[in-house]
C-alpha cells in the first residue's frame, strides 16, 4: 500500500501492480485517522476514504478518475471526514440504505400481510400496483420516495388512464405508507396531506322509467344466475357483491339480512 504525495500528473500515470490492482494512499489527509485512497485497476481508478469506526476498518467510495480529479477527491474527502467527526459513520449509513426495502418489496408485503387477508378489493389494489406503482417507483427505496416522486407518478397516471384512476393510485399509496409507518417499515409518510390532482364530482345519473322497463325485459329473458342477480339488484338497490353472496339462510319472510362479513361497510343490515 504505497503512500505518496499525489499530484495530478502522478494520478494520471499510476498503473496497477502484477495483481491487477494497487491501492495508493495520499500523504495529504483530510483529518487525523482518515486517509484518501486511490485504487488503481486495469480499467478503472477509484477514489475512496478509509478510516476506522468502532474498531473496524471502513471505507466510503467517492468517485472515479478522471471524472473526479485529485482536487475534487480531496474536497469530497474533507466533506465526508466532517461527517465522520460529527459521529456519523457514512459506511454504516450506506449499509443501512442497502438493507432498506424497495417500494416494490413493501407493496408485496402490504398485499401479502394486509390486503389479501382483509380486503375484498385486494385484486384491484394489486392491479394498480402492477400497472402504475411498480413500473414508476418500484425500484426506489421506500424510505427515499418523496412527494415530488409521487406527484410525478400521479401526473403520469392521469395522462395515461385519467384523473379518477390517478386519485385511486394516490389513495392506495396513502394506505400502503400508513400501514408501513405503523409497522415501522418506513420512518415517514411522504404522501400525507397530498391532494388529488383530479376533482371528482358525484354521479347523479338515474334511469328513466322507460329505461328501467327496457332493462327489466332483458333481465327477464336471462335465466342464469347473473340475470337473477341483476333483477335483485334492480329491486333492492343493493351492491352487486352483496347480492351475489346472498344465501337462503339470510332470508326470513320478506326480509333479507345482509351479514356484516358481506356488507361493504362491515355493518349488518336488513332489506
pLDDT number for residue 126? 95
Check: CB of residue 200 under 8 Å from CB of residue 164. Answer: yes
What confidence tier does 219 reach under pLDDT thresholds 50, 70, 90?
confident
What confidence tier does 137 reach under pLDDT thresholds 50, 70, 90?
very high
Judged on CB neighbours under 10 Å (0-12, 13-18, 19+), 18 is exposed
The DSSP 8-state label assigned to residue 89 in this structure reads: -
Residue-wise pLDDT tens digits, 143-184: 888 999 999 999 999 999 999 999 999 999 999 999 998 888
pLDDT number for residue 89? 63
> How many CA atoms lie within 13 Å of 233's alpha carbon, on the beta-carbon side?
17
pTM above 0.85, yes or no: no
Q: How far is CA 74 from the centre of its chain?
A: 36
pLDDT number for residue 130? 96
Amino acid at each position: 500500500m504505497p503512500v505518496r504525495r499525489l499530484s495530478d500528473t502522478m494520478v494520471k500515470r499510476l498503473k496497477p501492480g502484477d495483481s491487477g490492482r494497487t491501492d495508493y494512499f495520499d500523504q495529504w489527509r483530510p483529518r487525523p485517522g482518515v486517509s484518501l485512497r486511490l485504487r488503481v485497476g486495469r480499467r478503472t481508478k477509484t477514489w475512496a476514504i478509509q478510516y476506522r469506526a468502532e474498531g473496524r476498518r471502513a471505507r466510503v467510495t467517492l468517485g472515479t478518475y478522471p471524472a473526479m480529479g485529485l482536487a475534487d477527491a480531496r474536497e469530497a474527502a474533507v466533506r465526508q471526514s466532517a461527517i465522520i467527526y460529527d459521529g456519523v459513520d457514512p459506511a454504516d449509513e450506506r449499509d443501512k440504505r442497502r438493507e432498506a426495502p424497495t417500494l416494490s418489496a413493501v407493496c408485496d408485503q402490504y398485499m401479502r400481510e394486509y390486503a389479501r387477508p382483509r380486503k375484498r378489493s385486494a385484486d384491484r389494489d394489486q392491479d394498480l400496483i402492477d400497472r402504475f406503482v411498480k413500473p414508476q417507483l418500484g425500484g426506489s427505496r421506500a424510505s427515499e420516495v418523496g412527494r415530488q416522486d409521487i406527484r410525478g407518478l400521479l401526473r403520469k397516471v392521469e395522462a395515461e388512464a385519467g384523473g379518477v384512476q390517478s386519485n385511486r393510485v394516490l389513495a392506495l399509496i396513502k394506505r400502503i405508507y400508513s400501514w408501513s409507518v405503523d409497522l415501522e417499515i418506513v420512518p415517514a409518510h411522504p404522501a400525507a396531506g397530498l391532494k388529488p390532482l383530479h376533482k371528482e364530482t358525484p354521479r347523479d345519473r338515474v334511469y328513466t322509467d322507460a329505461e328501467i322497463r327496457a332493462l327489466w325485459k332483458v333481465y327477464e329473458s336471462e335465466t342464469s344466475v347473473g340475470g337473477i342477480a341483476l333483477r335483485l339488484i334492480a329491486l333492492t338497490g343493493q351492491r352487486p357483491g352483496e347480492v351475489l353472496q346472498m344465501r337462503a339462510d339470510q332470508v326470513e319472510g320478506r326480509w333479507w339480512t345482509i351479514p356484516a362479513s358481506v356488507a361493504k361497510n362491515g355493518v349488518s343490515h336488513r332489506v
